[in-house]
Amino acid sequence: MDFTAERKAMVDSQVRVNDVTERAIHLAMLAVPRESFCAPDRAFAAYSEEAVVIAGERRLMPARDVAKLLQAADAREGEKALAIAAPYAAAVLARMGLSVTAQEADQAVFDVVGEALAAEGVATVVAPLDQPTGEGWDVIVCEGGVAALPESWGAALRPGGRIVAVERRGAVGKAALYVKGREGLSRRELFDSSPAVLAALTPAPTFAL
């Protein structure tokens, strides 16, 4: 299978045509081997528009949605980024010249993608997803759905820092951009997206009598 040709087709047919105009994103996605970020027996589907399995219940976010999130984040060379449950986005950001740390709650994900992340110079941390490692991040990105944005993510941003994530409470989620200002986080909705909600960020059910 010619993965180089598949990458070009992905960028041309899934990314450029969906209003992603940032050339740095195009070049990074043309370079990052997306097939290395999914389960080996699913590598053939890496460049499709489906959410391909990484490990267990975790799946890759479609390239179109990753590209749109990163463009909204206005990620810039030299910035620091934390990719929470977002290994492919981590690699793309690293190719764009950011200093990137990838955080996962399950080592099984890194067992699949760890070698590819190391090749891109991405640091890795295993920790609960609602407890972001470090602080003073310029960008935080997440490829999984969240029922509600953890407050701890905003606290880990520097002033002017941005979070891009998909909030999903029903059948269709909304990608959103958060920017940290003096008064806290501002929020802007971006586009519809429906990644599976991350189990680790799903609130426990409550019952009332």
Homologous superfamily in CATH for domain 3-201: Vaccinia Virus protein VP39 (3.40.50.150)
Mind listing the pLDDT tens digit for each residue in 126-181? 999 999 999 999 999 999 999 989 999 999 999 999 999 999 888 888 999 999 99
Mind listing the pLDDT tens digit for each residue in 9-53? 999 999 999 999 999 999 999 999 999 999 999 999 999 998 999
Mind listing the pLDDT tens digit for each residue in 76-109? 999 999 999 999 999 999 999 999 999 999 999 9
Task: Give the whole-angstrom CA distance, residue 103 versus residue 200.
Answer: 13
